[in-house]
Amino acid sequence: MNKTVKKIAAVALSALMVGSVFAGCSSNSGKSDTTNKNTYNVGICQLTQHTALDSATKGFKDYLTEKLGADNVKFDEQNAQGDSATCATICNQFVSSNYDLILGNGTAALQAAYTATPNIPILGTSITDYGTALDKSDWNGVSGMNVSGTTDLAPLDQQAAMLKELFPNAKNVGILYCSAEANSKYQSDTITPYFKDAGYTVKSYSFADSNDVAAVAKTACDESDVLYIPTDNTAASNTGIIDNVATAAKTPIVAGEEGICKGCGVATLSISYDELGRKTGEMAYNILVNGEDITKMKVEAAPNVTKEYIKDRCDTYGIKVPDGYTEIKAE
């Protein structure tokens, strides 16, 4: 079990002990009304607030609301503001409330949810690699426990090929990510051989949290011809800082998803997080209404990936964008 999971487990255990003390004071405190089988109570733990995760949550809620009706599904939507300990507190509250299903939006949120309960169905979304998130070295796409969901990973070999297509003459590629996010390291480790096979010299630059984003980004920009940023929640929440540093250094950025690209990138191979959320909502519907066994449900991927670019930034760097790219606007 990795350090992140152990930390969440410790916080979860403490929260459960506190919850048990208060349970003795009020036997009905926080309990959902489960007498109406047609009303479903769903807890949503979102790791942090940024465009990608927001869109996934919205798609999830929209799908279930459309299928069940607004009166038949109740959402308890909580945002952990990027803190894994807060994720644990939120998810333990969901368990105490005996919700019918929990959505973990973001890796730390998913980890907190499955640490909190082995019984309530848990769906993840915006998760890059479930083997990494669940600490399963033999991951085969099915958890065999009360966890499934959707992955937001666009094919990393195709992302590397896209960077090569846009920057054929670059020599040094820097990978910028948050070391506290296990799935960001997974992406960095996985895409590095593809970059090397394309003839690049590759170096990773990791920041611990938002406090050192600017300093690490500056070093990365100064030492690289082009940066790659994977689907990283901390980076997504700090694109303004990264954009200021990269613009000053005149270092272009290729991003792992659309939200980061809009904030600081020139191009991305991205999925639709709204579609991803809706796919997760479909899985939730099949569990709640159709009785599908989550222990046997395969993790699903987004149905489409799209090459996208920011015209103004590409023009600034003199990047010739081939046919087949869709223009998006910077934020």
Contact 238, 213 (CB under 8 A): yes
pLDDT confidence tier of residue 313, bands split at 50, 70 and 90: very high
Cα distances from 45 to residues 48, 101, 201, in angstroms, run 9, 11, 39
What percent of the chain stands above pLDDT 70? 89
Question: 66 is written with which tokens?
Answer: 């459309």
Give CATH superfamily name and number for 156-270+305-328: Response regulator (3.40.50.2300)
The Cα–Cα gap between 294 and 291 comes to 9
- Least confident range from 12-16, 100-104, 300-304, 320-324: namely 12-16
Amino acid at position 262, single letter = K
Tokens of 308: 């996208």
Rounded CA separation 89/70 (Å): 27
Check pLDDT > 70 for residue 11: no
Say whether 156-270+305-328 and 3-152+273-298 share the same fold.
Answer: yes
Domain ranges within the chain, ordered by starting residue: 3-152+273-298, 156-270+305-328
**Mean pLDDT value of segment 260-287:** 97
Least confident of 36-45, 147-156, 216-225: 36-45
| Closest-CA residue to 53 (of 231, 308, 212, 243) | 231
CATH fold, domain 3-152+273-298, is Rossmann fold (3.40.50)
Q: Which pLDDT tens digit goes with each residue over 14-52?
A: 444 434 433 333 333 333 333 345 799 999 999 999 999
Average pLDDT, the chain: 90
- The model's pLDDT over 104-134, given as tens digits with 9 standing for 90+, comes to 999 999 999 999 999 999 999 999 999 999 9
148: β partners: 123
Task: List the 326-328 sheet strands across, edge first.
Answer: 201-207, 172-178, 226-229, 253-255, 267-270, 306-310, 326-328
Average of per-residue pLDDT across 255-283: 96
How far apart (Å, rounded) are the C-alpha atoms in residues 174 and 182?
18
Q: What number is the average pLDDT over the span 52-80?
A: 97
Q: What is the 3-state secondary structure (H, E, C) of the chain?
A: CCHHHHHHHHHHHHHHHHHHHHHCCCCCCCCCCCCCCCCEEEEEEECCCCHHHHHHHHHHHHHHHHHHCHHHEEEEEEECCCCHHHHHHHHHHHHHCCCCEEEEECHHHHHHHHHHCCCCCEEEEEECCHHHHCCCCCCCCCCCCCEEEEECCCCHHHHHHHHHHHCCCCCEEEEEEECCCHHHHHHHHHHHHHHHHCCCEEEEEEECCHHHHHHHHHHHHHHCCEEEECCCHHHHCCHHHHHHHHHHHCCCEEECCHHHHHHHCCEEEECCHHHHHHHHHHHHHHHHCCCCCHHHCCCEECCCCEEEEEHHHHHHHCCCCCCCCEEECCC
